[in-house]
Amino acid sequence: CECVWTVGGTSDTIFANDTASSSSSSSSYLGNLLVVPMDGSHWVGMKAIAQEMGRRGHRVTVVIPEVSIRMGPGKYYDTEIHPVPYDRAYIDSVASAHKDMMQKSSQSFMVRTKKRFSHILKVIDLIHGTAESLLFNDSLISHLAQQGFDAVLTDPMVPTGSLIARKLGIPTINLLRGIPFSLDVNSAGCPSPPSYVPRFFTGYSDKMSFKERVVNTLVSVYRHIYTGRCMHEERIFKKSQSHIQVNIVILCLNRIDLILEFPRPLMPNMVLVGGINCNVRNPLPEDLESWVSGEFGFVVFTLGTMVSDLPEEKTSIFLEAFRQIPQKVIWRYTGQVPDNVPENVKMMGWVPQNDLLAHPGARAFITHAGSHGIFEGLCHAVPMVMMPIGADQHHNAQRLADKGAGVVVDIFSITTESLLQGLNEVLHDVRYKEDVQKLSALHKDRPVEPLDLSVYWTEYVMRHKGAKHLKPAGIDLNWIQYFCLDVIALLASVVLLFGILIVKCMKLCFRKLNPRSSCYKKKAE
Amino acid sequence: CECVWTVGGTSDTIFANDTASSSSSSSSYLGNLLVVPMDGSHWVGMKAIAQEMGRRGHRVTVVIPEVSIRMGPGKYYDTEIHPVPYDRAYIDSVASAHKDMMQKSSQSFMVRTKKRFSHILKVIDLIHGTAESLLFNDSLISHLAQQGFDAVLTDPMVPTGSLIARKLGIPTINLLRGIPFSLDVNSAGCPSPPSYVPRFFTGYSDKMSFKERVVNTLVSVYRHIYTGRCMHEERIFKKSQSHIQVNIVILCLNRIDLILEFPRPLMPNMVLVGGINCNVRNPLPEDLESWVSGEFGFVVFTLGTMVSDLPEEKTSIFLEAFRQIPQKVIWRYTGQVPDNVPENVKMMGWVPQNDLLAHPGARAFITHAGSHGIFEGLCHAVPMVMMPIGADQHHNAQRLADKGAGVVVDIFSITTESLLQGLNEVLHDVRYKEDVQKLSALHKDRPVEPLDLSVYWTEYVMRHKGAKHLKPAGIDLNWIQYFCLDVIALLASVVLLFGILIVKCMKLCFRKLNPRSSCYKKKAE
């Protein structure tokens, strides 16, 4: 649930920079790629790579469930559609749960928590349904096995793609923002010293006090003792009777950028491709282009794939605030459009978010701070009013706010005043624009464009049938070996034994020299 | 002391691939770079970057001592010459020590060790002399301070460049193969889990037995307790009254490639540029071109900057072996050329090593496995007969031999037979050629050429006046904090206290329930 994206139609043209792939071998090689994507905003980056791989002449096949939130066919890849045990109405009901969460509620904490938990279970069921209907679709799997794929590009949030790769005996390439409990970092054998790598959701920076380091260490110990698999993964692994770890991964394309992360150790098979989607863009449609033009510019307002509709009272809070600013506002809104929409506000079922942000008239970006949206805002240097809802969004928003690229407003307790204050701050205080411009310059200063880099390493794994020389030996160790706890135990025993021996010797000497302490002597006999 | 290099003259032309730098911002920026190089083979990569930076329009100033082994002016950079307290004869005497080491000697082990130690002291004195004569040359330093440099590119084997950068208040970029005791890795705050990162010189692979892990852990503990500075650095630091660590480094350009290293954690400010020198090349001079042509091809034989002369009896061993092969041999040899040189052997004071290896007629490369030479052999896929002498050469040779790219022959106990055996193996067993070709393909398969990448990141640091966002927080922690030993001590104390409390409670309960054990009761009272 991260950002809005234009699917299908003319939006498939890619303006990506082609000059980066300087390797002579990369240009001639044409392969056969299987893509096992995840639905929702996760599809954004995956589609960008699938399209670009296809455009460069590779054969690309994307496996898609017959009902999905936003996945669909594209110009440069084939699709394999597989049946799923749910319908559109079920997906819509899952999506609408986000709207309920926004509702100012007189319900008790317990009732709300129960609701929330049942929503999470529903999402997990949806993910399972999709994964199992693919993994146990024998005819589709054997059909895929006959296609002679070179590699699988997949989203490791669910291990479906990895399992298929294992079945097909081909290498896996992961595209990810991160997996809960840092499973991705662990399974890559990548160390994360708790002394300066803050654990996700702790909210700590890389400069921690002693107390913070204690908490951070406890969190990371818990994580390591934790079985190493998510609840839903466990179920799928069990059913597929394949007790493998996620660590069969060959290469990870990480959708992060170091200007937003604290510097931490990386493994050689981790490639950073944050901002992969920013160059996938088009000119604005003519009617939208003429509407957004005007001396005061405009504000882009989206809350991601999953939150495109708000409760009535929340909607009116936003409209009331927008009425008081001279800027136009383009709002991605799929719910019932109210009667009292101000003239400067346009509510649309979908918006070309990245194209709008790239427009010189964009003055501010109201966003839920999903991992795709923030990079689009950052890439085009648009100051942000961030309203994180869940997942990594609070982390993203806080990091951007710390760097001066925008302000954070709590969407659950929002008022017209708090929204206006935040909006006016980023619209009128030039420091936000200056800071986001500096950040944008740093973000865009890289030897190879993230999309080109993703394509390059995907091709690399395909043409070399893997990348064995990048596989860290650490992933074959259990955690006792990995942390050398057995070695430490041995060394500690030796030191202890040595200590005890010295004490014993000293006691012996003492007794020999001082025969009066006979009680000890007697006992020793 | 790694490889032969053509200095001056026409060899300055660079055929590097320019297409890689796709960033729009990189092309327009022109800056002012100070280069503080190290002498010997270390100059090779440094000169390549200095030349290329100058060629792209940056102002580049290289600080060079008035007497040096191989450093000198170039087409695209200015030089600042500073006086040093030694002369050419002293440098030659240091270089000739290597020849002595090759001598079959009737001297006792003690005498040889003493000789070796005195040679090391001589080298250290030479390094010190150079460093101090630059650091305490006040007029030169204040002249440099007025030039408005953006950054210092330096070799961190000696911290001269870092110290000048600190004095001038500008960021440092390091170009390195590695510093003894992995000081570079430590000072970058980069973790090296002893469970799968073998320590240098242990000769272990990344898959270690329990015993090997114990040794590896002990070595790394020793390294951490070690003060963290080399002997000669200590002296320079002391004299310059500047007690800083090497950790002011902004960016490290590491002359390594992952096909030759075991995959290990890296920090985001470490950029891998192994093979930086392979694209700096020219066509062969006409006379050499016509001499090397022939149906059997030719062998290139060099032992690096420091070993260009051998004792007479060793030379004749080589000549005897060469007499028995049909290939021509080009040997870099600065000593007295003997009378009985076979017709197929050409002994030259210098050879264009990289240009020769790039020639299709090159059949084998007899090398000391220095870090520049091996990449030239690898780049041009020439099987190698490796004769490591010191430093990282044994490690390099072993890694290449493990991968099938060549054989290792001990130069100290070499005979005509052992040399012929090794040479014939790589010349006639096609597996060596096949393996080195595979390895070469992997090595050259990279999104950006190493020289372009080096230039890119050097420019990056210059245009952003550093790269603060890449600085790991770990480098500001002491080793107790870094390894969370204080946290572990606290947690262990809590667990221990808890354990003691439980035992006490249980004892108390036991006593209450079993009043017969009165002796304990009495004692407790």
Average pLDDT score over residue span B115-119: 82
Residue A229: pLDDT over 60:
no
- Give dist(CA B358, CA A453) in Å, integer: 29
Cβ neighbours of B214 in A, within 8 Å: 487, 490-491
Shortest distance between the Cα of A438 and any Cα of chain B, in A, equals 10
Residue B289 or residue A3, greater confidence: B289
pLDDT for the residue B366:
94
Whether pLDDT at A525 is above 60: no
Which of B19, B196, B218 shows the shortest C-beta gap to A22?
B19
Which tops the pLDDT comparison, B167 or B24? B167
Residues B99, B335: Cα–Cα separation, whole Å? 10
Amino acid at position A165, single letter:
A
Contact B442 A453 (CB under 8 A): no
Q: Which tokens go with A517?
A: 């302490």
For residues B3 and B305, what is the distance between their CA atoms, to the nearest angstrom? 6
Amino acid letter, residue A298: F
Minimal Cα distance from B453: which residue of A? A447
B3 versus A363: which is more confidently predicted? Answer: A363
The number of C-beta contacts closer than 8 angstroms across A and B is: 185
Secondary structure string (H, E, C) spanning B3-17: CCCCCCHHHHCCCCC
d(CA A61, CA B480): 52
> Is A427 a residue whose pLDDT tops 80?
yes
Interchain pair A23, B447: CB under 8 A = yes
Bridge-based pairing state of the strands A59-65 and A151-154: unpaired
CB contact under 8 A, A195 and B484: yes
Closest Cα in chain A to B482: A195
Average pLDDT for chain A: 83
**Least CA distance to B448: which residue of chain A?**
A22
Residues of A in contact with B21 (CB under 8 A): 447
Interface test with B, best of A21, A192, A195, A438 (most B CBs within 10 A): A195
Out of B195, B217, B460, whose CB is closest to A474?
B195
CATH class as words, domain A286-444 = alpha beta
CB–CB of A447 and B446 under 8 A? no
pLDDT at position B516 is: 65
What one-character-per-residue DSSP string does A29-74 give? Answer: ---EEEEE--STTHHHHHHHHHHHHHHTT-EEEEEEESS-SS---B
Q: In sequence order, which ranges of A151-265 are alpha helices (DSSP H)?
A: 160-168, 183-187, 210-225, 231-239
pLDDT in tens, A169-211: 899 999 988 877 677 777 777 888 999 999 877 888 889 999 9
Task: State the pLDDT at residue B150.
Answer: 94
Give the separation between CA B2 and CA B117, rounded to whole angstroms.
20
Going from the C-alpha of A21 to that of each of A28, A152, B138, the distances in angstroms are 12, 21, 47
For B468-524, how does the pLDDT look when each residue is reduced to its tens digit (9 = 90+)? 888 888 888 888 888 888 999 999 999 999 999 999 999 999 888 886 655 454 554
Strands (E) across A309-436 are located at: 328-332, 345-348, 362-367, 384-386, 406-408
DSSP 3-state of B423: helix
pLDDT in tens, A47-63: 999 999 999 999 999 99
**Range from A20-29, A126-135, A514-523 that averages highest in pLDDT:** A126-135
Which pLDDT band, with edges at 50, 70 and 90, does B119 fall under?
confident
- A244 has pLDDT over 50: no
Of B306, B351, B310, nearest to B328 by C-alpha is B351
Q: Give residue B133's pLDDT band: very low, low, confident or very high (50, 70, 90).
A: very high
Whole-number pLDDT of residue A80: 94
Q: What percentage of chain A exceeds 90 in pLDDT? A: 43
DSSP conformational letter for A469: G
Provide mean pLDDT across the span A410-422.
Answer: 90
DSSP assignment, residue B503? Answer: H
- Of residues B457 and B333, which shows the higher confidence score? B457
Instruction: For residues A4 and A356, give the distance between their C-alpha atoms in angstroms, rounded to a whole number.
Output: 11
Name the 3-class secondary structure at A330. Answer: strand
Contact B172, B198 (CB under 8 A): no
**Domain definitions of chain A by residue range:** 32-180+230-278+449-471, 286-444, 479-505
Under an 8 A CB cutoff, do B196 and A474 touch? yes
The pair of three-digit structure tokens given for residue B331, joined into one six-digit string: 């040997």
State how far residue B342 is from chain A, nearest Cα, in angstroms. Answer: 41
pLDDT interval class at B104 (50, 70, 90): low
Pick B479 or B207 by higher pLDDT. Answer: B207
> Could you tell me which chain A residue has the CA closest to the CA of B486?
A210
Contact assignment for B473 to A20 by CB distance below 8 Å: no
Q: How confident is the model at residue A118 (pLDDT cuts 50, 70, 90)?
A: confident
Separation between Cα atoms, residue A213 and residue B474, nearest integer Å: 12
Per-residue confidence (pLDDT) for residue B3, from 0 to 100: 31
The pLDDT, as a whole number, for residue B436 is 94
With CB atoms and an 8 Å threshold, state whether A265 touches B445. Answer: no
Q: CB-based burial of residue B327 (10 Å sphere; 0-12 exposed, 13-18 middle, 19+ buried)?
A: buried
Share of chain B above pLDDT 70, in %: 87
In this structure, the number of other CB atoms found within 10 A of the CB of residue B126 comes to: 19
Of A196, A453, A472, the CB nearest to B447: A453
Helix axes B109-135, B231-239, angle to 10 degrees: 30
* Structure token digits, residue A219: 């969190």
- Chain A residues with CB under 8 Å of B486 CB are 210, 213
Tokens describing residue B520: 């304990």
Predicted pLDDT of residue B422: 93
Q: Say whether pLDDT at B122 is over 90.
A: no
Substitution target from B18, B190, B195, B261 for chain A, most A beta carbons within 10 A: B195
Which of B22, B196, B464 lies at the smallest CB-CB distance from A448? B22
Closest CA to A216 of A232, A203, A235: A203
- Model confidence at B4: pLDDT above 60: no
Which residue(s) pair with A253 in the sheet?
A175, A271
Closest CA to A392 of A371, A367, A413, A366: A371
Contacts with A482 from chain B: Cβ below 8 Å:
193, 195-196
With CB atoms and an 8 Å threshold, state whether B474 touches A258: no
In angstroms, what separates the C-alpha of A511 from chain B's closest C-alpha?
24
DSSP A200: T
Which pLDDT value is given to residue B277?
85
> How far is it, in rounded angstroms, from Cα A188 to Cα A264?
14
- How is residue A330 written in tokens? 């383009």
CB contact under 8 A, A213 and B264: no
CATH of domain B32-180+230-278+449-471: 3.40.50.2000
Residue bearing tokens 């770890």? A245
Distance from CA of A2 to the nearest CA of B (A): 25
Choose from A23-27, A379-383, B478-482 the range with maximum mean pLDDT: A379-383
Amino acid at A357: L
Question: How far apart are alpha carbons A451 and A473 in whole angstroms?
Answer: 29
Q: What is the chain B residue with the closest CA to A452? A: B447
Of A17, A445, A477, the CB nearest to B25: A445
What does the alpha-carbon distance between residue B358 and residue B282 come to, in Å, rounded to a whole number? 9
Q: pLDDT value at position A27?
A: 52
What is the rounded distance in angstroms from the CA atom of residue B514 to the CA atom of residue B508?
10
Average pLDDT, chain B: 83
User: pLDDT, tens digit, for every residue of A59-116?
Assistant: 999 999 999 888 999 999 999 999 999 888 888 888 777 777 777 666 777 887 888 8
Smallest CA–CA distance from A441 into chain B, residue = B25
Q: How close, in Å, is residue A461 to chain B by CA atoms?
A: 11
Cβ-Cβ contacts under 8 Å, B452 against chain A: 22, 447
Q: Do residue A196 and residue B477 have CB atoms under 8 angstroms apart?
A: yes
Among the ranges given (A234-243, A332-341, A407-416, B415-424), the one the predictor scored with the smallest mean pLDDT: A234-243
Produce one character per residue of A183-222: b if its CB has 16 or more CB atoms within 10 Å, e if not. Answer: bbbbbbbbbbbbbbbbbbeeebebebeeebbbbbbebbee
pLDDT given for residue B449 in this prediction:
93
Does the pLDDT of residue A428 top 60, yes or no? yes
User: Which pair of tokens denotes residue B423?
Assistant: 């040479």
Q: How far apart are CA B485 and CA B384, in angstroms?
A: 46
Contacts of B142 (CB under 8 A, 6+ apart): none
Least confident of A38-52, A407-421, B169-183, B411-425: B169-183
ipTM: 0.84
Is 70 exceeded by the pLDDT of residue A228?
no
What residues of B are in contact with residue A17 (Cβ under 8 Å)? 22
Q: Which residue of B has its CA nearest to A464?
A: B442
Contacts A442 to B, Cβ<8 Å: 464, 469
Of the listed ranges A364-368, A396-400, B112-116, the one predicted with least confidence = B112-116
3-state helix, strand, coil in chain B (%, to 5): 45, 10, 40
A286-444 has the same fold as A32-180+230-278+449-471: yes
Q: pLDDT tens digits, residue range A478-492? A: 888 888 889 999 999
Q: Residue B9 pLDDT more than 50? A: no
